[in-house]
């Protein structure tokens, strides 16, 4: 049976360090890190995430502001709010929760966020820095950054000689994940819906990352014995065995099967999920250190 990678505990470690480094920043004369979270509309899942981000920010000792805007908010109004947050010295990180309503151009909104406050790492400047290996000044998207910390816990920082397969090519997870693994010297393949013989490719992976949003797609016989399996998926499925109308969360990996072959594996929930918010705090702290003219802390 595989080692269980406890994302909840690693995330708690990160938040504890962020808290301590926030206190240290104040002693050095820096100002309190500030995080602004913007949410447009009433998507229930987004509301849960955003509440959790704001709560963790407060726990870290941050100045935390939340803009909760109605679904009909116009693009110009949203751009105006981003402009104000860009100019506000009390704010180091701006996060606009996605998805945005369809009448708003998400790409345009994201590219309006000042790159030095783009703690989501979605601005072209930060994407370009990650792609060219400028990791000292890049903001890296939170989910792949958190996944990378979990991989390091198992495999160390230098992944030379290891094959990594990332299943999923999204801008938020798949592509930045592949770039992080490449920067750590892995041999990286990105697989996606058009990949031929995905199970055979997956079996070549020493590190297998699943980020496709399809419940339990990665089966046990896709996993190379001893592989490190990182499950980024969070899917809610029907669970009639728990009673009528009940649901449960599963990842993109069929956990029970995969755990028999893997060397280490993340559970869902309690794996990658908690890391995303922790890394948002780490990015906001880094932004505040840089704004104070100090060297940024690494996690
Ligand atoms: N919606 C789902 N994941 C994310 C994320 O990482 N950042 C933002 N801004 N919105 C999201």
Distance CA 177, CA 233 (A): 14
Phi, psi of 265 (to 5 degrees): -150, 145
Residue 1 Cα, ligand 1 centroid: separation in angstroms?
A: 33
- For tokens 């009390």, the residue is 90
Strands 235-238 and 247-250: antiparallel
Is the CB of 252 inside a 6 Å radius of any atom of ligand 1?
no
Q: Nearest CA to 263 among 229, 219, 216? A: 229
**Average pLDDT of the chain to the nearest whole number:** 97
Instruction: Write down the pLDDT at residue 10.
Output: 98
Residue range 191-203: average pLDDT? 98
Is the CB of 95 inside a 6 Å radius of any atom of ligand 1?
yes
State the CB neighbour count (10 A cutoff) for residue 73.
18
- Ligand 1 atom with the shortest distance to the CA of 280: 6
**pLDDT tens, 139-160?**
999 999 999 999 999 999 999 9
- DSSP H helices, 28-159, are 44-59, 75-87, 106-112, 124-131, 142-155
State the CB neighbour count (10 A cutoff) for residue 93.
29
Instruction: Write down the pLDDT at residue 237.
Output: 96
Instruction: Write down the pLDDT at residue 246.
Output: 97
All structural domains of the chain, each given as residue ranges with its CATH number in brackets, are 29-114 (3.40.50.10860), 142-273 (3.40.50.720)
- Extract the tokens encoding 143: 């989910």
Strands 264-265 and 3-4: parallel
Please list, in sequence order, all residues whose beta carbon lies within 8 angstroms of the beta carbon of residue 152, skipping any fewer than 6 positions away: none
Is the CB of 120 inside a 6 Å radius of any atom of ligand 1?
yes
Distance CA 70, CA 225 (A): 50
**pLDDT tens, 121-140?**
999 999 999 999 999 899 99
Distance CA 157, CA 18 (A): 20
Query: Given ligand 1 and candidates 36, 57, 95, 272, which is best to mutate, with the most ligand atoms within 8 Å of its CB?
Result: 95
Confidence of residue 53 (pLDDT cuts 50, 70, 90): very high
Annotated active-site residue in 97, 206, 224, 231: 97
Instruction: Write down the pLDDT at residue 239.
Output: 97
Contact indicator for 253, 205 with CB cutoff of 8 Å = no
- Ligand 1 atom with the shortest distance to the CA of 98: 10
Is the CB of 142 inside a 6 Å radius of any atom of ligand 1?
yes
Instruction: Write down the pLDDT at residue 200.
Output: 98
Task: Give the closest residue (by CA) to ligand 1 atom 9.
Answer: 97
CA distances to 132, 138, 200, 226 from 178, in Å: 12, 15, 19, 20
Q: What is the DSSP string of 170-216?
A: -TTTHHHHHHHHHHTT-EEEEE-TT-SSHHHHHTT-SEEEE-S--TT
Q: What percent of the chain has pLDDT over 90?
A: 98
Query: Given ligand 1 and candidates 36, 49, 113, 284, which is best to mutate, with the most ligand atoms within 8 Å of its CB?
Result: 49
**pLDDT tens, 204-226?**
999 999 999 999 999 999 999 99
Confidence of residue 78 (pLDDT cuts 50, 70, 90): very high
Contact indicator for 52, 277 with CB cutoff of 8 Å = yes
Distance CA 139, CA 28 (A): 23
- Ligand 1 atom with the shortest distance to the CA of 143: 6
Provide the CA 292 distance to its chain's centre, in angstroms: 25
């Amino acid at each position: 049976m595989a080692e269980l990678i406890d994302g909840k505990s690693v995330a708690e470690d990160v938040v504890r360090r962020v808290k301590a480094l926030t206190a240290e920043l104040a002693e050095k004369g820096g100002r309190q890190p500030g995080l602004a979270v913007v949410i447009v509309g009433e998507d229930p899942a987004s509301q849960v995430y955003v509440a959790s981000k704001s709560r963790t920010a407060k726990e870290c000792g941050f100045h935390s502001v939340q803009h909760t805007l109605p679904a009909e908010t116009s693009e110009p109004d949203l751009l105006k709010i981003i402009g104000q947050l860009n100019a506000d010295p009390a704010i180091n990180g701006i996060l606009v929760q996605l998805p945005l309503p369809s009448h708003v151009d998400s790409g345009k909104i994201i590219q309006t966020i000042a790159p030095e406050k783009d703690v989501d790492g979605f601005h072209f400047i930060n994407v370009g820095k990650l792609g060219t290996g400028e990791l000292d000044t890049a903001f890296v998207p939170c989910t792949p950054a958190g996944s990378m910390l979990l991989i390091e816990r198992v495999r160390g920082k230098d992944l030379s000689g290891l094959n990594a397969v990332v299943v999923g090519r999204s801008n938020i997870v798949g592509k930045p994940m592949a770039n992080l693994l490449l920067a750590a010297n892995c041999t990286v393949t990105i697989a996606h819906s058009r990949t031929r013989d995905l199970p055979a490719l997956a079996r070549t992976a020493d590190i297998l990352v699943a980020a496709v949003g399809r419940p339990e797609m990665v089966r046990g016989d896709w996993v190379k014995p001893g592989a490190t399996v990182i499950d980024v998926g969070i899917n809610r499925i029907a669970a009639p065995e728990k009673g009528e109308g009940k649901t449960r969360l599963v990842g993109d990996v069929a956990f029970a099967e995969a755990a028999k072959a893997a060397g280490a594996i993340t559970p869902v929930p309690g794996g990658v999920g908690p890391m995303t918010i922790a890394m948002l705090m780490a990015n906001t702290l880094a932004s505040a250190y840089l704004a104070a003219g100090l060297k940024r802390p690494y996690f």
